[in-house]
């Protein structure tokens, strides 16, 4: 499998679908052949079209409608206008708590995770023997991190009698219930997220490979030191990949669910300190059956994610470098 030619190519995936979409055509198509090809294309796409309308777009619109009702699965929907949204932002303390918790989680854990990913990628990129071995070790946690089993493990590692306390005990530190104390519970989830830095690390490694060696050679001729090469070549040329990872990890981590559910035992406690947004949405929609309210929360989530992504793209102008010769 080949990589796209420039780092910019990898990162533009969500940015510029238009350019990607027109693949070079072999030549002008005769109209009858064109028609039969279009027919074939729609047949190939038939399952996707059904899925798009029945599983994605349809429910999306339905969800928007439901968010203006008090639907509960047990009774009919009544139009309530903006009541659900108003309640979220003015009366629902748990909603605000879930927003606060999730935002803290994203803002702290994503940069930390990416920093670890980048640092390890830089260390591994330098012609080190055994790269595939190390890469596998660091990558493995990111495949397991979303599982129930790992969340169970985390709950126990950071429990009152868990191994973290055992280790701290060696240094004479008094045990602390990391997951049962509202001050620290969220931090255990942040550590879990940072632990899964392997996935962005692999993407960084692929990006580092694309930087032409000639640049470093030229810089060496000019007498640049290692730090200077990193600052002036590696980092700028890597910014599109950093940006790409940032956008994705923000979107992904804002929707984290399993860790919060399992570590808190399903209620986001203690004192709502691990109440992730999606966990609260789940509680509202599928425990309390306030489905209109949950649908409204889902739309707010969509808007938040869209806004965060937009902010990321706006900010990217100031720090992401797309080489002009690419």
Within residues 80-109, the interface with other proteins by CB under 8 A covers none
Q: Are 127 and 209 in contact (CB under 8 A)?
A: no
Nearer to other proteins, 186 or 201 (CB): 201
The residue assigned the tokens 């691990």 is: 274
Residues between 18 and 77 that touch other proteins (CB under 8 A): 18, 20-26, 29, 34, 37-38, 40-42, 44-48, 50-52, 54-56, 58-60, 62-63, 66, 71, 73
Closest approach, Cβ 104 to other proteins, in A, equals: 19
CA gap 262, 259 in Å, rounded: 5
Residues between 109 and 138 that touch other proteins (CB under 8 A): 120, 122-131, 134-138
The one among 202, 242, 275, 320 contacting other proteins by CB under 8 A? 202
Q: What is the DSSP letter of 75?
A: S
Applying CB under 8 A, does 313 fall inside the site for other proteins?
A: no
Distance set, CA 224 to CA 8, 219, 220, 321 (Å)? 25, 5, 5, 20
Nearer to other proteins, 107 or 148 (CB): 148
Closest approach, Cβ 183 to other proteins, in A, equals: 21
* # chain residues binding other proteins, by CB under 8 A: 122
Residues between 226 and 255 that touch other proteins (CB under 8 A): 226-227, 229-230, 234, 241, 244, 248, 251, 254-255
Cis peptide before 270 (omega within 30 of 0): yes
The one among 181, 309, 313, 321 contacting other proteins by CB under 8 A? 309
Q: Are 178 and 185 in contact (CB under 8 A)?
A: yes
Applying CB under 8 A, does 180 fall inside the site for other proteins?
A: no
Applying CB under 8 A, does 187 fall inside the site for other proteins?
A: no
List the structure tokens of 60.
Answer: 């999306």
Applying CB under 8 A, does 294 fall inside the site for other proteins?
A: yes
How many contiguous H segments (helices) and E segments (strands) does the chain have? 18, 0
SS3 69: strand
CA gap 69, 81 in Å, rounded: 7
Closest approach, Cβ 313 to other proteins, in A, equals: 12
Q: Are 14 and 247 in contact (CB under 8 A)?
A: yes
Piece of 96-104, 105-113, 222-230, 315-323 that binds other proteins (CB under 8 A): 222-230
CA gap 138, 148 in Å, rounded: 20
Locate the DSSP E strands across 41-193: none
Applying CB under 8 A, does 311 fall inside the site for other proteins?
A: no
Piece of 82-90, 101-109, 293-301, 318-326 that binds other proteins (CB under 8 A): 293-301
Applying CB under 8 A, does 312 fall inside the site for other proteins?
A: no
The gap from C-alpha 282 to its chain's centroid, in whole angstroms, comes to 19
């Amino acid at each position: 499998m080949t990589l796209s030619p420039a780092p910019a190519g990898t990162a533009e995936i969500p940015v510029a679908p238009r350019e990607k979409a027109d693949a070079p055509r072999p030549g002008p198509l005769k109209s009858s052949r064109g028609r039969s090809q279009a027919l074939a294309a729609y047949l190939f796409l038939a399952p996707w079209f059904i899925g798009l309308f029945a599983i994605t777009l349809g429910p999306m619109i339905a969800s928007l409608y439901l968010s203006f009702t008090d639907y509960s699965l047990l009774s009919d929907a009544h139009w309530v206008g903006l009541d659900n949204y108003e309640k979220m932002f003015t009366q629902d303390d748990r909603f605000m708590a879930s927003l606060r918790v999730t935002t803290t989680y994203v803002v702290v854990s994503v940069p930390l995770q990416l920093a670890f990913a980048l640092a390890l990628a830089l260390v591994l990129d330098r012609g080190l023997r055994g790269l595939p071995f190390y890469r596998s070790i660091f990558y493995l946690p990111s495949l397991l991190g979303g599982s129930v089993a790992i969340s169970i493990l985390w709950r126990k590692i950071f429990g009152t009698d868990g191994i973290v306390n055992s280790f701290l005990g060696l240094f004479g530190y008094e045990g602390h219930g990391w997951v049962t104390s509202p001050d620290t519970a969220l931090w255990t989830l942040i550590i879990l997220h940072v632990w899964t830095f392997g996935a962005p690390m692999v993407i960084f490694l692929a990006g580092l490979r694309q930087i032409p060696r000639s640049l470093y050679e030229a810089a060496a001729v000019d007498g640049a030191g290692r730090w200077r090469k990193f600052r002036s070549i590696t980092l700028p040329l890597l910014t599109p990949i950093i940006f790409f990872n940032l956008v994705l990890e923000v979107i992904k981590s804002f929707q984290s669910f399993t860790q919060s559910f399992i570590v808190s035992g399903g209620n986001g406690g203690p004192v709502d300190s691990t109440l992730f947004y999606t966990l609260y949405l789940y509680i509202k929609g599928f425990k309390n059956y306030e489905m209109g309210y949950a649908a409204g929360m889902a739309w707010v989530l969509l808007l938040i994610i869209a806004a965060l992504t937009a902010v990321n793209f706006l900010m990217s102008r100031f720090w992401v470098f797309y080489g002009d010769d690419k």
